[in-house]
Amino acid sequence: MAVVINLNGHRALITGASRGIGRAIACSLATAGAEVILHEDVLNTVSEEIKLKGGKAYIYPFDISDVAAIHAFFDKVVKEVGPIDILVNNAGVNLRAPAADMDIDTWHKVLELNLDAAFFLSQAFFKKLRADNLPGRIVNIASLLSEAARPGIAPYTASKGAIRQLTKALAVEWAPYKVTVNAVGPGYIATEMTDPLQKNPDFNKWVLERTPLKRWGEPDEIASAVLFLVSDLARFITGQVLYVDGGWLASL
């Protein structure tokens, strides 16, 4: 018998929701019945897509790397939209350079967006839930590079390794308040951001040979994992990273 996930009565904030994985997550949660708050700079097409399917979406552009302003941003959204009980920390950036040549500005830009923003937005989310005595769900978007490494992306790898451990730390600390914290670790996913890599014959060949299922993943496959983790089906799961990678990490 098919299991239908119903998120009616829930409200979710998804960062980095304008395209790729974030867009798929937003549409998936909205289709399941959640009202969604979409963070990004250009979101009209996503919100219209959701509304055409009968969902409800709110647009809140904001520079999520401005960590000092995150609490004020979150308070503004809650005041205008209502309580939020699902948070998906998806926004991220990957800036490439050899580790020996990495400058301090590039290092900080990646860490601020990928790690600092996720922590302080989770903090704002939790504080509001605790004040209102409400349960909640946080899902962080991790990566294969939470576990492995490739040359040229040291700050990204460091940030995603930290996201894995942050997920565990917050899960343990906030479990008494009925707030679960999990992560999804995408493998190589076919998105606008990875299009140049897909079109690179050598890199594409490496991905297909390295991935046991012999293909790139789809954004909807990440969204399905997030949908599961924010649903009641996962109510006894916290502190976990679910890798959706076609078997990449399991393979030598």
Where is pLDDT greater, at 243 or 49? Answer: 243
Q: Is 60 a catalytic residue?
A: no
pLDDT range class, residue 42, cuts 50, 70, 90 = low
What local confidence, expressed as pLDDT, does residue 73 receive? 96
- Distance CA(69)–CA(39), nearest Å, equals 14
Helices 20-31 and 44-52 cross at an angle (nearest 10°) of 30
Percentage of the chain with pLDDT > 90?
A: 85
Percentage of the chain surpassing pLDDT 70?
97
Q: How confident is the model at residue 52 (pLDDT cuts 50, 70, 90)?
A: low
**DSSP alpha helix (H) spans, the chain:** 20-31, 44-52, 70-81, 104-111, 117-132, 154-174, 195-199, 201-210, 219-230
**Tens digits of per-residue pLDDT, 12-39?**
999 998 889 999 999 999 999 999 999 8
Q: Decide if 189 contacts 218 (C-beta within 8 A).
A: yes
Class of domain 11-244: alpha beta
Give CA separation, 61 vs 71, 130, 191, in Å: 15, 26, 21
Alpha-carbon distance of 5 to 3, in angstroms, equals 6
- Which member of 60, 156, 188, 243 is catalytic? 156
Whether 22 contacts 142, CB under 8 Å: no
Q: In the chain, what are the domain boundaries?
A: 11-244
Mean pLDDT, the chain, integer: 94
138 half-sphere exposure, CB direction, 13 A CA radius: 33
